[in-house]
Structures are given as structure tokens and as C-alpha cells.
A and B are shown apart, each in its own frame.
Chain A
Amino acid sequence: MNTFFSEPENGEPRAVDTTRSVHVSGLTRRFGDGPAVLDHLSLDIPSGQFVALLGRSGSGKSTLLRTLSGLDSVEYGEVARPKAVSVVFQESRLLPWKRVWQNVVLGQKGPEGKERALQVLKEVGLLHRVEAWPLTLSGGEAQRVALARALVRNPSFLMLDEPFAALDALTRIHMQNLVLSLWRKHQCTALLVTHDVDEALVLADRVLVLEHGRIKVDLPVTLPRPRRHAHPVFEQLRSELLHALGVQNA
């Protein structure tokens, strides 16, 4: 059903604008009478950190992201996050009836909208597709537009929900590098949901594993970037994470 018609949220996450850090404590979320999808979850992300969130399918990663982005209300627990947040979803969710640049500055006020759009589209390498209709974009291009749309708002906190899952391996590597350089440039706090342990280890300062509604593993990754998969520490972190995710003899 259309969520557009849902009741207005009363439990909006508390917006803290002075900082880019994110604080979650005692967050519980259940659907109907089912078991708690998030169960007294607590999490602190310091300003500017790049966090990757792993977890089995159905473990509640998207649910956490929806709550952090303000799409779902907070029923139990506390959430404090910067006011300026942006979300990139697995599907680009570009409006097909707006040209690429119009999608980027959707809802942005001000007459210099197009210039701002051009600027970020240049950052994601899509200057040649500014006037294109979204239906004519390739999957990777569409995701880059979605990324541009997220960045044009200068988010303090950028959330990415499996943004590369539908892309081919090569495009995905390009996108990972792109996200990394944009994160550095815009200096935002980032939370990336992914299924790909390698992707998490290549990108993040810290990798979390969500299980039974809580953060089960919280692993700092101190390797210098760019990271090589063959690095022994990388290997060790990977098998640790795979083990936490329930994959044997990795």
C-alpha cells in the first residue's frame, strides 16, 4: 500500500545539527506481534566515520536504515542523528518523468539548481547525460545519478542500502572507488549496508554484523587505503566476518 497516505510520524528521530555523529540507544522495532527485528540495539558512529553494516537477509539492516533516515518512526529507544541525511537505495528510484539533472536537484530551492546539478554530475562522471531521461540510463549510470542526488544536499550523514547489489562486478569496483572519493571529499559520516564482506572491508573504517536485532560484531578496520584483498590482515578479517555470518570453511 502507499506509504504516502500513512499517518504523520510523531516519533521523528531527534535531529542534532551541531555534529555529524549518530547515536542510537535501546532501539527496538517489531512489526505487528512478530519478534523484535531490532532488539534494544545501541550504536554510536563518530563524526566522519565510514561504517559498513553486514547481516543475513532479514536481519533488520534495512529496518535500521529506515529508522535512521526518518522513514519509520522510533517507537522504543532513542535515535539522534544529523539533520542533513541522504539515502541511496538499491534501486536508483529516479523519477522517470524528470531529466537527470532535474532528478538530482528534486525539491531543492533556488535558481542556480541546474548549476549545482552539473557540478555533482561532474563529480560522478555523468556530465554527458545531464539532459537524458532516466529510462535511457544503464544501471550503473542510474546509481551514479542517485549518488549525485544524495550528495547535492551536502549530507552530514550518508546512508547506502546495498547500492551496488544490482551492478556487475566491474561497475561495482568503479562505484566503490567513487563512493570512497566522494566520502573523503564531502567528509560525511557514512553507513553502508552490504552483503559483500570484501566490499565492506575495502571501504569501511569499521564493520558491524547485525544479528538477532543487535550488533553482534563490531570490528575496526585499520588497514590503510587502498586495500589489497591479498593482505594477511584483510584475509583474517574476512574469515572472522564470514564466520560471524555463519559461513563455514571460508
Chain B
Amino acid sequence: MSESGSRSRSVQKLRGRQLSFVWKESRRFLSPVLLVLFWQIASAGGFVSARILPSPAQLAHTAWGLIKDGSLPTNLLVSLERASIGFGLALGIGVILALISGLSRLGEDIIDAPLQILRTLPALALAPLFILWFGIGEEPKILLVTLGALFPIYLNLHKGIRSIDPKFLEMSRTLGLSRSQIIREVVLPGALPDLLLGVRYALGVAWLMLVVAEQVNAESGIGHMMMDAEDFLRTDIILVGLIVYGLLGLISDWVVRTGERWLLAWQVDGGKRV
């Protein structure tokens, strides 16, 4: 009797904990939802001109139309392809350059100085130059993304490699680890948190570069869709494009965060998450 009582009490406690968890998770979405509601009411009440700011319902309608006639998926796919190729290139090149300059003095002298100089150039300002150099095909867009994403990756990984605790390197030498073992077991895992930080920055920059590249000159892509809409005064399509960009940014950030939680489990579980 008393046992079942305590069990039901503990079930209650558990349910309470679940409820509070659901509440904690959902309240983060509360204010955006309220904001959209407010927006819808304001639009429906005629307080905001539909020309300037269409209502959420209208946007949903437009988005659905764009999906149905295939223009949104097609353009999205093109944009995604450009972003991922550009970002992939940046990741590959950035990691290789950071390894070379992080692991050898000679490499640092050769690679670091020019990259530090290039870094100070505003990458966006290179768009016209890239179009002149590479024409109006895919290359200038992909390369702009690459260029923008390269620096955060390179700089963070380089810093990560250079700031490995020398005590770990010393210890590895007393354990008789070879140079390649030290790189694999000590340097790379130790620099991983910095690399992931760089990747997150780089993703943000990559989307930004893509927007610009696609709006300056493009025959396809989300940016192109938005520029087209401008010619026809379609505020709703522009807004849908913006929302898509926003979602892409959110999703990519979420992916990296999830990857971090898994790759850096030693930090999370160790309670030393910084």
C-alpha cells in the first residue's frame, strides 16, 4: 500500500519533471510565435500595407505557390550546391593551410603572413573583381563563398594548433610517440574545439557571401529569385527568400552544434564546457 503510494508519487514527480522540460523547451519559441501572431493581426486589421509588409498568411501562400511551381526548390538546390561546394573547398584548403603553418615554422613564415594580409580585405568588395576574372558562371559565386569561409577556418585552426599545451607535447615525447602520432592523437583533437568554432563562423560568412554573389549577378539561386521579385515589386517573394536564408543559417548552425556535442563529449561530460 505505502509502496504503491510512493511509486505513484514518484511517477507524479517524473511527470512534473517532464512537463517542466517541455515548458522549458517550448518557451523559447513562445515569443517568435507571439510576434508572428501580432504581425498577422496587424496585417489583417489593415494597419500595415500589404505592399510593404505582406501578412504571414500571405507569405505562407506565396511560399506554397513557389514550391508548387518548382521555382523555390530549384533555386534552393542551386544555392545549396554553391554553398556546399564553396564551403567544402574552404574547409579542405583551410585545414591543409592551417596544418602546414601550424606544424612547421617554415610553413608559418610562408603561409601565415599573406593570409593575415588577405584577411583584412573585405571579401565582399572582391565580388566585382571575381566576376571580371571568372565571368558569370558558377565559379565566381563558389569562389566568393570559399574565400569568405576560408579565413575563419584557417585562423581558428591555426590558433588551436599553436595553443596546444606544450606539456602535452612533452608528455607525448616521453611516451615515445612519433611525430605523426603526436599530430593525430594530440594536436588535432586538441585543436578540434577551435576548428569547430571556426566552422561555425565560416558557415555564417558563407551564407552572407552567397547572398551577395547571387544578387550581384546570377541566373538562378535564392538571391536571384529575390532580385527578380524586386523587378516585379513582389515584396512577398523577397520575404520568402529572406526566410529561407534565415532557415538555412539556423539549420547549418544546429548541425554544427550537434556535431560539437558529439565530437567534444569529453568537454561536455567533463563539465568544463567553455
A residues within 8 Å of B by Cβ? 1-5, 69-71, 85-87, 89, 91, 93, 95-98, 106-107, 133-136, 149, 153
B172 within 8 Å of A by Cβ?
yes
Q: Does A4 lie within 8 Å of B171, measured CB to CB?
A: no
User: Which residue in A1, A2, A107 is a CB contact (below 8 Å) of B176?
Assistant: A107
Q: Does B170 lie within 8 Å of A134, measured CB to CB?
A: no
Given contacts A86-B174, A107-B176, is CB(A133)–CB(B265) below 8 Å? yes
Q: Does A70 lie within 8 Å of B170, measured CB to CB?
A: no
Q: Does A106 lie within 8 Å of B175, measured CB to CB?
A: yes
Q: Does A89 lie within 8 Å of B270, measured CB to CB?
A: no
- Main secondary structure on chain B at its contact with chain A? helix
A3 vs B172: C-alpha distance in the bound complex, in angstroms? 11
User: Which residue in B162, B177, B190 is a CB contact (below 8 Å) of A106?
Assistant: B177
A86 vs B103: C-alpha distance in the bound complex, in angstroms? 26
A86 vs B174: C-alpha distance in the bound complex, in angstroms? 7
> Which chain B residues border A96 with CB–CB below 8 Å?
266-267, 270, 272
User: Which residue in A86, A93, A153 is a CB contact (below 8 Å) of B168?
Assistant: A93
User: Which residue in B164, B167, B269 is a CB contact (below 8 Å) of A93?
Assistant: B167
Given contacts A95-B186, A106-B185, is CB(A4)–CB(B270) below 8 Å? no
A106 vs B164: C-alpha distance in the bound complex, in angstroms? 17
Given contacts A4-B169, A71-B170, is CB(A135)–CB(B267) below 8 Å? yes
Q: In chain B between 173 and 206, which residues have their CB closer than 8 angstroms to a CB of chain A?
A: 173-177, 181-182, 185-187, 189-190, 192
Q: Does B169 lie within 8 Å of A133, measured CB to CB?
A: no
A68 vs B167: C-alpha distance in the bound complex, in angstroms? 17
> Which chain A residues border B103 with CB–CB below 8 Å?
5
Q: Does B166 lie within 8 Å of A107, measured CB to CB?
A: no
A5 vs B169: C-alpha distance in the bound complex, in angstroms? 10
Given contacts A97-B190, A135-B270, is CB(A107)–CB(B172) below 8 Å? yes
List 26 A–B pairs whose Cβ atoms lie within 8 Å, in order of A's numbering. Answer: A1-B166, A2-B164, A2-B166, A3-B166, A4-B182, A4-B187, A5-B105, A71-B170, A71-B173, A85-B174, A89-B171, A93-B167, A93-B168, A93-B170, A95-B189, A96-B266, A96-B270, A97-B192, A98-B189, A106-B175, A107-B172, A107-B175, A133-B269, A134-B270, A135-B266, A153-B175
Instruction: Mark interface residues in B151-170 (1 if CB within 8 Å of A CB, else 0).
Output: 00000000000101011111
The 8 closest A-B pairs by CB, nearest first: A135-B270, A4-B169, A93-B171, A107-B177, A97-B189, A133-B266, A87-B174, A97-B266
> Which chain B residues border A106 with CB–CB below 8 Å?
172, 175, 177, 185
A87 vs B104: C-alpha distance in the bound complex, in angstroms? 27
Q: How far is the CB of A13 from chain B (nearest CB, A)?
A: 12
Q: How far is the CB of B263 from chain A (nearest CB, A)?
A: 9
A106 vs B169: C-alpha distance in the bound complex, in angstroms? 13
Q: Does B169 lie within 8 Å of A2, measured CB to CB?
A: yes
> Which chain B residues border A2 with CB–CB below 8 Å?
162, 164, 166, 169
> Which chain A residues border B168 with CB–CB below 8 Å?
93, 95
A91 vs B169: C-alpha distance in the bound complex, in angstroms? 14
Q: Which has the most chain A C-beta neighbours within 10 Å: B103, B177, B266?
A: B266
A133 vs B267: C-alpha distance in the bound complex, in angstroms? 9
B271 within 8 Å of A by Cβ?
yes
Q: Does B175 lie within 8 Å of A98, measured CB to CB?
A: no
Q: How far is the CB of B261 from chain A (nearest CB, A)?
A: 14
Instruction: Mark interface residues in B231-274 (1 if CB within 8 Å of A CB, else 0).
Output: 00000000000000000000000000000000001110111100
